[in-house]
A and B are shown apart, each in its own frame.
Chain A
Amino acid sequence: MRKAALTTVSTVAGVVLLLSLKPHTDTPTTAPPAVAAQPPSPSSAPSSSPSSSPSSSPSSSGAAAAPSPSTSHTTSAGPTGTYTGDTINTRYGPVQLAVTLSKGKITAVKALQTPSGDGRSQQIASYAVPQLTNETLQAQNAQIDTVSGATYTSDGYVQSLQSALDQAGV
């Protein structure tokens, strides 16, 4: 085997697509979930169509937005709302997903941006990630081709980063 180089990136670095918000998740203390909150939107019907419009309005100063679902209805059963993930720089171009949660369960995943996307990137870029994450991501240049992780089910795949990469590549 040829030498494999392993680069550790910070826990929330790279590809912070989604959620980290499941009530049962034993979240480490190293970082908050790196998702930016948006108000829940009734327009976020289940859809993964890359061509659908983002459900939020543009923000020009969201770079310091708190990662907590502050505008969402957080209940004891889990958060409700639409969460915009960090933009993933795949080798095909940027990919970004939005995930809609209802009481902590995923009800919709929407691709806000794909490499074939049409100028939405500027709007998307205004959604914040912690600066540290961004720096780490840039320092490591964490462009990835694929993802290894615990075996997902056929249903779990839909929410997976690998699914986003597959969509980006075709």
Chain B
Amino acid sequence: MLQGVNLACVRGDRELFRDVSFSVAAGSLLQVRGPNGSGKTSLLRMLCGLSNPAAGEILWNGTSVRSRDGGYYADLTYIGHSSGTKDDLTALENLQISSALAGFEITAVQAVEALRRMGLKGREMLPVKVLSQGQRRRVVLARLLVCKTALWILDEPLVALDVSAVDLMRNLLEQHLQQGGMVVMTTHQEIEIAAAAISQLQLS
């Protein structure tokens, strides 16, 4: 279970939010909403331990994520705004390396399988720089298929995706939630996800 307790975020001398509390239990999805500049990405980066909250605490199964010893990072998949792919490497190499970095070493066969499921058949051996924005995004999201982590933190995962890819993402999210996974995500697009527990966090 992921908990945020009275979190506050300060950027420069501007306070983006304060007293934000939430908890995400197994099988539930937390959607972070708010206008541009309200601190959605800052909150997600905070949850990943990339920045420290100005006040408050983030707990994973009761231990603070800052201590780095609660096994938090082995359970976490973070997909942020920047792709984390290398233009000069092929889709296959990118997927293999990014999953190895996340602690899941996969074979080329598994990687090809995942890329095909993301609708990239025939593009596996192309360098990422020749792919379109949407296809690059699919390469990044393919990591969700191979890394079996409990908590997904997704920052605008639907950007640049077409209708069929959004459908695919919806299925993926529903499946993950059914298996007891947790999702924290931001999106400006409307997406109907059938899940038992969906909560919304509004940042103003």
Question: Are A and B genuine complex partners?
Answer: no
